[in-house]
């Protein structure tokens, strides 16, 4: 897109920005006012959903999140209707796969879920735990406690799960095998 714009009078390569996606527009009258407004609208669309200027992610990805069984009975909630409302701490989108790691005494990946709703405004604060944003997770698969314990996760590149993080390919491959019974 920037290539065709650069051929126009009054539009130059970006200065101090990613030159593949951004341009500099001279505001000296050499670019039609309507075109300037159109370019501003396009740039707003690119950055409007993120505070960092990065393009909004549209392709689903896999996440690994922690859960503390001492604080919350996840299994009980999943048994109710197969969904759970969970604290969202990362930039997740609908369709993301979320693997839930249960902390000690379980210390294993126990669930594969799909994010069905994200960025739900939520206000919870008990003085020691606070939630401002939540997501709705749909249970897709239960793992046995012995399927993916922390000891096996360490061999596959994950030594701890302290917050939401991406799933390394080695671990993801093994989790998918376990789901298929391999």
Please name which of 64, 61, 54, 68 lies closest in space to residue 22, comparing C-alpha atoms.
54
Among 45-49, 61-65, 144-148, 167-171, the minimum mean pLDDT is found in 45-49
Could you tell me what percent of the chain has a pLDDT over 70? 84
Residues 87 and 39 in one domain: no
**Residue 24 forms part of a structural domain:** yes
75 and 129 share a domain? yes
Query: Is 127 part of a structural domain of the chain?
Result: yes
Tell me if 54 is assigned to some domain: no
d(CA 39, CA 170): 43
- pLDDT (tens digit, 9 = 90+) per residue, 119-145? 999 888 888 888 899 999 999 999 999
pLDDT tens figures, 160-171 = 999 999 999 999
| Same domain assignment for residues 158 and 86 | yes
Of 22 and 80, the one with more pLDDT: 80
Q: Please state which of the ranges 2-6, 29-33, 69-73, 128-132 shows the lowest mean pLDDT.
A: 2-6
Positions of E strands within 126-171: 130-142, 165-166
Strand-strand pairing, 108-125 and 130-142: antiparallel
Residues 25 and 75 grouped into a single domain: no
Nearest in space to 158 (alpha carbons), one of 96, 113, 166 = 166
pLDDT at residue 51, as a whole number? 53
Q: Please state the domain count of the chain.
A: 2
Per-residue pLDDT, averaged over 107-127, amounts to 93
Q: Is the pLDDT confidence value at 97 over 80?
A: yes
From CA 122, how far away is CA 88, in angstroms rounded?
Answer: 10
- In this predicted structure, the answer to whether residue 60 has a pLDDT above a threshold of 60 is yes
- Provide the whole-model pTM: 0.70
Q: Is residue 107 part of a domain?
A: yes
Do 90 and 152 sit in the same domain of this protein? yes
Distance between CA 162 and CA 166 in Å, rounded? 12
Domain identity same for 27 and 115: no
| CA dist 5 → 18, 37, 53 (Å) | 15, 14, 20
**pLDDT band at 19; cut points 50, 70, 90:** low
Residues 72 and 150 in one domain: yes
Closest CA to 95 of 135, 147, 142, 42: 135
Same domain for 102 and 67 = yes
């Amino acid at each position: 897109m920037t290539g065709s714009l650069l051929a126009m009078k009054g539009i130059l390569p970006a200065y101090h920005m990613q030159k593949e996606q951004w341009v500099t527009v001279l505001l000296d009258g050499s670019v039609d006012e309507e075109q300037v407004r159109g370019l501003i609208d396009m740039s707003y669309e690119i950055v409007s959903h993120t505070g960092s200027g990065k393009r909004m992610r549209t392709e689903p990805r896999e996440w690994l999140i922690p859960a503390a069984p001492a604080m919350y009975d996840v299994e009980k909630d999943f048994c109710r209707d197969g969904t759970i409302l969970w604290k969202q701490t990362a930039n997740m989108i609908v369709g993301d796969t979320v693997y839930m790691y249960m902390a000690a005494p379980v210390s294993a990946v126990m669930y594969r879920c799909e994010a069905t709703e994200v960025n739900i405004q939520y206000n919870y604060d008990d003085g020691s735990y606070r939630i401002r944003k939540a997501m709705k997770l749909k249970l897709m698969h239960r793992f046995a406690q012995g399927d993916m314990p922390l000891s096996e996760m360490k061999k596959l590149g994950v030594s701890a799960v302290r917050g939401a993080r991406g799933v390394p390919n080695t671990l993801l491959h093994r989790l998918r095998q376990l789901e298929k019974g391999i």
